[in-house]
Amino acid sequence: MPWSSRIDRIAPFRVMSLLETAQAREAAGHDVIHLEVGEPDFPTPEPVVAAGREALAAGHTRYTPAAGLPALREAIAGHYATHFGAAVDPRRILVTPGASGALLLASQLLAGPGDRVLMADPNYPCNRHFMALAGAEVDAVPVGPASGWQLDAALVAANWQEATRLAMLATPSNPTGHMLDAGQLAAVAETVKARGGHLLVDEIYQGLCYDLAPLSVAAITPDAFVVNSFSKYFGMTGWRLGWLLAPEAAVEPLTRLAQNVFLAASTPAQHAALAAFTPECRELLEARRVELGRRRDALLAGLARLGLAPSLPPQGAFYLWLDISRYSDDSQAFCRRLLEEENVAITPGIDFALQGGEHHVRIAFTTGIARLEEAVSRLERFLARQ
């Protein structure tokens, strides 16, 4: 029998295949430089690991409420108040199995058959796919340097249709690393509200900012849905923990969804995450953010020497979005050859962009400066042969 037709709307995430190939080359003895996956080489902060051990030793392995451990929801609310000046009721926060769990809840609540969803192109592909699984149609709006690689208020207004129900932003964004400032966020929020729609903001890379102060749409409007994660800034990728901040009226239906879809997020992970908000952990995380900024600058300097640096440097996250059109119109083949010939793993742009992805690649500055400089040297050799 055939599979459900919804699976036909889900494209493969090609970077995972590339990662598998890179790991196989590594296992065969090649010196592979990994710049393909969004996971820095820092371990989970020790205070978090210690709290996880303590939680297991204390027997904290039973279900929490579907919306999450009350103490963790309160800690997240305190994080918004302390660092973003946003007064958030902890009851508006639902702790989820990774940011993916939050995206699943939001997409199922906000989008359905016949609805249209606006988001930027390029974008994280799973954002499109969650909406497709909900039965909605995604209008991927091409963005570029003119709008700071973001879906701004003018683009939202120009592309809003009668059936548009939702606009989704990502700031800082994956794959470009660009941000919307407070004024731009407020303008988008007003534009969406005036059209009777919903606003969903991906803030997964919030905190990993280099040129602008980190901010949250939660400080601008209580009406936005906000997805966040413990994976990126907090360094807890494998713990699979995130959260969804929702308007008060949405909490009850979202809780019903959570009860049925995943019951609750991992209990030991939730207890461990409480330590992420301690001053000791914050100091370590800020030192890592500064180091990522150094890595960004070193990589930009190396790429500038090759004439490849982006015209707008990324303001956050840990990615560069590079135009390779001088060398290739097939980003997947470009990345495959770079891996095979020089053992440098980067991500093809077709994973992220429906338009122009074949002319772009994403590089993650998730390894040390010496390795980044070696990667640039290998890239230079590779480009000289093109």
* pLDDT tens by residue, 191-242: 999 999 999 999 999 999 998 889 999 999 999 999 999 999 999 999 999 9
Instruction: Say yes or no to pLDDT of 99 above 80.
Output: yes
Show the domains of the chain with their CATH numbers: 11-38+281-384 (3.90.1150.10), 46-277 (3.40.640.10)
> ω into residue 65 within 30 of 0, thus cis?
no
Phi and psi, residue 228, nearest 5°: -145, 175
In this prediction, residues 95-111 reach a mean pLDDT of 98
- The four Cα atoms 117, 122, 125, 130 give a dihedral, to 10 degrees, of -10
- Which pLDDT tens digit goes with each residue over 44-86? 999 999 999 999 999 999 999 999 999 999 999 999 999 999 9
Answer yes or no: is pLDDT of 38 > 90. Answer: no
**Using CA atoms, how far apart are residues 323 and 306, in angstroms rounded to an integer?**
12
The DSSP secondary structure of 297-334, one letter per residue, reads HHHHHHHHHTT---SS---BTTEEEEE-TTT-S-HHHH
Please provide residue 168's backbone torsions phi and psi, each rounded to the nearest 5 degrees. -120, 125
Q: E strand or H helix at 166, and its extent?
A: strand 164-170
Residue pair 200/176 in contact (Cβ under 8 Å)? The answer is: no
CA distances 306 to 36, 149, 338, 379, 380, Å, are 20, 22, 16, 9, 7
Instruction: Give the residue among 259, 213, 174 at the shortest CA–CA distance from 85.
Output: 213
pLDDT at 14 over 90: no
Q: What's the chain's average pLDDT?
A: 96
Q: Are 121 and 353 in contact (CB under 8 A)?
A: yes
Task: Give the residue-averaged pLDDT of 286-298.
Answer: 98
pTM of the model: 0.95
Which residue is associated with the tokens 């009668």?
162
What is the C-alpha separation between 35 and 365, in angstroms, rounded?
Answer: 6
pLDDT tens-digit profile of 339-385?
Answer: 999 999 999 999 999 999 999 999 999 999 999 999 999 999 999 99
Residues 6+ apart with CB under 8 A from 138: 116, 117, 119, 128, 131, 132
Rounded to 5°, angle at Cα 289 from 127 and 91:
55
Asked whether the beta carbons of 32 and 339 are under 8 A apart, the reply is: yes
Residue 15 to residue 62: CA distance in whole angstroms: 35
Q: Does pLDDT of 1 surpass 80? A: no
Distance, CA of 121 to CA of 170 (rounded, Å): 11
What gap in Å lies between CA 81 and CA 88, rounded to an integer?
A: 7
256: three-class secondary structure by DSSP? helix
**Helix residue ranges, H only, 134-175:** 153-159
Q: Which two tokens stand for residue 230?
A: 């413990």
Assess contact for 366 and 345: CB atoms under 8 A: no
Judged against a pLDDT cut of 90, whether residue 162 lies above it is answered with yes
User: In the prediction, which pLDDT does 2 show?
Assistant: 81
Task: Tokens 């249209």: give the residue.
Answer: 116
